[in-house]
Structure 1
Amino acid sequence: MYIVQIASECAPVAKVGGLGDVVYGLSRELSLRGHCVEIILPKYDCLRYDHIWGMHEAYRDLWVPWFGGAIHCTVFYGWVHGQQCFFIEPHSGDNFFSRGFFYGALDDHMRFAFFSKAALEFLQKSNKRPDIIHCHDWQTGLVPVMLFEMYKWHGLWNQRVCYTIHNFKHQGIAGADVLWATGLNNEGYYFHYDRLRDNFNPFALNCMKGGIVYANAVTTVSPHHAWEAHYTDIGCGLSHTLHLHQDKFKGILNGIDYSTWNPEVDHNIKLQYSWDSLENKAKNKKALRDRLLLEDNDRPIIAYIGRLDDQKGVHLVHHAMYYALNRGAQFVLLGSATEGSINSWFWHEKFHLNDNPNCHIELGFNAELSHMIYAGADMLVVPSNYEPCGLTQLIALKYGVVPIVRGVGGLVSTVFDRDHDDKHPPEERNGYVFYQTDNHALESAMERAIGLYTVYPEEFRKLQIQGMKYDYSWNNPGNEYIDLYEFIRA
């Protein structure tokens, strides 16, 4: 098949969150299976150009219709770690992608409406006719709308669209200006409830809703998150739309790239290891302690790696830190705050615990250190309020780190409680799960994990090995996406 991914991110050249990892990881998996895959991205001025090989002009004069006129664009081509990527650069006073950041501008809805329009214009003008167009999140929600309402009359009549939602919280709320800019124009038609009109604001358009309504297939990033979005407030107001289109909506669990996240081949860690050489993990544990100036003792290391914000259950992260220390464990935190108040809170904790030989707080993101923490830690806490898929628990399992997670989204689809899971036999369980958002629920799960480590070390080792044997690569998701592509082609 010929597959084109249209997205606002692709790791490692343009990465803010898990979206970038998915676009790259899935594209790589499909390419390895022999499919032709191309990725279309905005040419941000803040791209990681050091990860792009052989960049050159591929289409010099792309004129994209916009507000009754046209904006001149150049399309560049380059290889990103083996993946073919096209980068669209508009030459306009709007400076859509020359702002030093990816998201956060007041006109984001216009920036990505233009990108969606430009991507389709590029496919049409360059005579590219993919079998599947796979687009992602609200930034490209207008792609299936414009494809069905406009571009199918101009040569793109046989293309099928798969639309993947990574985060329901951000939906691309826009006004009628988006219609007039893109040439969709007909306000009365698109402001209809069955098309783009926001479910709760009759004067707003919803780009994500447009993607759901017009795409041939709609996915999100784990089966349980699909259920949550359909039946709970996790759908952020789109549950009824998902219900109307439930026949084409499903969850496909994300994978992780085992060429990057694998202790057997990881060159960022002291000593490589696998489930049958788990004793080498102890040397990585000592290396982590040496790096972070932690006391070398027989305590377990409990870690948190990720953003510090409300989605991630930051209040429980804070509580986990002190509970671990009070229970005779060590705690390592690597994360960056998205809000000033949370940032100040954790800087205060960092200064307060600076001389504690059993705690280290690293505020910011350090890729090399994250590998060392996974290789050296015994347990990982992931107390998210909601988590569409989650990558940290998948990485932790591969590195022999026992995850302690809240039972939401992709966490409950991938971590199975050692003591209480009723769907998996004991030999298939791999961590600890709690469900409430209070301190006592977290403490109960942490207590069980610390107790097993302390009192029954051989049983803890067995649990580590069971987690390491799980396959959360892109192999299974790759199969599911190929089956879905074939279905919508037919």
Structure 2
Amino acid sequence: MYIVQIASECAPVIKAGGLGDVVYGLSRELGIRGHGVEIILPKYDCMRYDHIWGLHDAYQNLVVPWYGAAITCSVHCGWVHGLQCFFIDPHSNDLFFNRGYYYGGQDDQMRFAFFSKAALEFLLQTGKRPDIIHCHDWQTGLIPVMLYEMYRYYGMENQRVCYTIHNFKHQGIAGVDVLWATGLNREPYYFAQDRLGDNFNPFALNFMKGGIVYSNFINTVSPHHAWEARYSDVGCGLSHTLDVHNHKFGGILNGIDCEVWNPEVDRYIPYHFNKDDLTGKAKNKKALRERLMLGHGDKPLICYIGRLDDQKGVHLVHHAIYYALSRNAQFVLLGSPTEPAINSWFWHEKMHLNNNPDCHLELGFNEELSHLIYAGADAIVVPSNYEPCGLTQMIGLKYGTVPIVRGVGGLLNTVFDRDYDTEKLPEERNGYVFYQTDASALESAMDRAIGLWYEYPQEFQELVVQGMEYDYSWNHPGQKYLGIYDYIRHK
């Protein structure tokens, strides 16, 4: 199959969050399986050019109709770790992608509406006719709309669209301008509730809703999150639309890149190990303690790795630190606060705990250190308020770091409670799950993990090994996406 991914991110060249990892990981898996994959991205001025090989002009004068006139673009081609990527560079006074940031402009909706239009024009003008166009998140929600309403009449009637929603919180809310800019034009038609009209604001268009209505298949990034999106407030107002289109909606778990996240070959950790020989993990724990100047002793080491914000359950992350210390465990945090108030709060905690030999808070993000923490910690807490998929718990399992998670989204599809899971056999369980958002729920799960570590060390080791036996690589998701592509091609 010939597949084109169109997205606003692709790790490691453009990465603001998990979206970039998915676009890279899935594309790589599809390529390994022998399919032709190309990726179309914006050419941001601030992307990591050091991860692009052989960047060259691929198409000089891409003329993109815009507001009744046109904007000319250059399209550059290069290889990102073996993946062929095309970067669209508009020559416009709007400087759509030359602003030193990926997201955060007042006109983000227009920026990505233009990118979507330019991506389709590039396919049209170069004669590229992929079997599947795979779009991601609100930034590309207009692609299936324009494909169905415009481009199919210019010889692109056979292209099928798979639309993946990574986060329902950001949907791309815009006004009428976007219709006139892209050439869709007909206001009453697109403002209709069964097309792009926002479910709650009669004066707004919703890019993500358009993607759902017009795509051939929509998925989110875990089966449980797909259920949550339809039946809880996690759908952020799109539950009814998903219900109407439930015949073409599902959930597919993300994978992790096992070339990057693999304790047998990880270049960032001093000692390699696997499930048959965990001596390297014990040595990494010692190395982590030395690096962070923590005390050595017979204590479990619990960690948190990720953003510090409301989605991630920041109040429970804070509570986990002090509960671990009260239970004679150590705690390491590697987190980047996303708001000034949270930043101040955790800097205050960092100063307060600075001389504690059992605690280290590292505020910010450090790729190298994150690998060492995964390799050296005994358990990882993931107390998210909502989590579409979650990668930290999967990486934790791969590194023999027992996950303690809240039962939401993809966390529920990947972590099975050692004591209470009813779906898995005891030898298939791999962590601890709690459900409420209060401190006592978190404490009950942490208490069981710490208690097992102290009182039944052999059984804790067995739990570690059971977690490491799970395969959360891109192998299974890759197969499922191919199944969807095949289904929509022949429908």
TM-score range, shorter chain: over 0.9
- Displacement after TM superposition at 1:155 (Å): 1.4
- Displacement after TM superposition at 1:168 (Å): 0.2
Counterpart code for 1:462: E
Cα distance in 2, alignment partners of residues 280 and 167 from structure 1:
37
Q: How does 1:417-456 map to 2 (within 5 A)?
A: 417-456=417-456
Deviation per CA, 1:420-457: give whole Å up to 9, x if none.
00000000000000000000000000000000000000
SS of match in other structure, 1:8: coil
SS of match in other structure, 1:307: strand
SS of match in other structure, 1:161: strand
- Displacement after TM superposition at 1:364 (Å): 0.4
Cα distance in 1, alignment partners of residues 364 and 43 from structure 2:
26
SS of match in other structure, 1:277: coil
Aligned to 1:146: 146
Counterpart code for 2:287: A
Aligned residues: 490
- Displacement after TM superposition at 1:48 (Å): 0.3
- Displacement after TM superposition at 1:334 (Å): 0.2
Counterpart code for 1:125: Q
Aligned to 1:380: 380
Counterpart code for 2:361: I
Cα distance in 2, alignment partners of residues 106 and 316 from structure 1:
33
Counterpart code for 1:339: E
Cα distance in 2, alignment partners of residues 40 and 384 from structure 1:
32
Cα distance in 2, alignment partners of residues 278 and 463 from structure 1:
13
Deviation per CA, 1:237-266: give whole Å up to 9, x if none.
000000000000000000000000000010
Counterpart code for 2:278: L
Deviation per CA, 1:399-430: give whole Å up to 9, x if none.
00000000000000000000000000000000
Deviation per CA, 1:321-371: give whole Å up to 9, x if none.
000011100000001011000000000000110000110000000000000
Unaligned runs of 5+ in 1: none
Aligned to 2:365: 365
Aligned to 2:38: 38
Aligned to 1:70: 70
Cα distance in 2, alignment partners of residues 301 and 154 from structure 1:
60
Aligned to 1:351: 351
Matched, 1:85 2:101: no
Cα distance in 2, alignment partners of residues 256 and 377 from structure 1:
19
Q: How does 1:208-247 map to 2 (within 5 A)?
A: 208-247=208-247
Aligned to 1:107: 107
Cα distance in 2, alignment partners of residues 183 and 349 from structure 1:
53
- Displacement after TM superposition at 1:141 (Å): 0.1
Aligned to 2:266: 266
Counterpart code for 1:102: Y
- Displacement after TM superposition at 1:178 (Å): 0.4
Q: How does 1:47-58 map to 2 (within 5 A)?
A: 47-58=47-58
Counterpart code for 2:474: W
Counterpart code for 2:23: V
Matched, 1:476 2:473: no
Deviation per CA, 1:186-231: give whole Å up to 9, x if none.
0010000000000000100000000000000000000000000011
Matched, 1:288 2:288: yes
Deviation per CA, 1:303-338: give whole Å up to 9, x if none.
000000000000000000000011100000001011
Q: How does 1:173-322 map to 2 (within 5 A)?
A: 173-322=173-322
SS of match in other structure, 2:265: coil
SS of match in other structure, 1:75: strand
Cα distance in 2, alignment partners of residues 130 and 281 from structure 1:
45
Matched, 1:399 2:399: yes
- Displacement after TM superposition at 1:69 (Å): 0.4
Unaligned runs of 5+ in 2: none
Matched, 1:333 2:333: yes
SS of match in other structure, 2:278: helix
Q: How does 1:149-168 map to 2 (within 5 A)?
A: 149-168=149-168
- Displacement after TM superposition at 1:387 (Å): 0.1
TM-score (norm 2): 1.00
Counterpart code for 1:297: G
Aligned to 1:20: 20
Q: How does 1:448-467 map to 2 (within 5 A)?
A: 448-467=448-467
Aligned to 1:122: 122
Cα distance in 1, alignment partners of residues 331 and 427 from structure 2:
28
Cα distance in 2, alignment partners of residues 344 and 99 from structure 1:
28
Cα distance in 2, alignment partners of residues 480 and 213 from structure 1:
22
Counterpart code for 1:389: C
Percentage of identical aligned residues: 75
Cα distance in 2, alignment partners of residues 432 and 69 from structure 1:
58
* CA-atom RMSD in angstroms: 0.4
Cα distance in 2, alignment partners of residues 182 and 254 from structure 1:
32
- Displacement after TM superposition at 1:377 (Å): 0.2
Give the 4+ runs in structure 1 shifted more than 4 A. Answer: none
Cα distance in 2, alignment partners of residues 375 and 86 from structure 1:
36
Counterpart code for 1:284: N
Aligned to 1:324: 324
Cα distance in 1, alignment partners of residues 132 and 246 from structure 2:
20
Cα distance in 2, alignment partners of residues 391 and 229 from structure 1:
19
- Displacement after TM superposition at 1:279 (Å): 1.9
Counterpart code for 1:45: D
Cα distance in 1, alignment partners of residues 267 and 68 from structure 2:
54
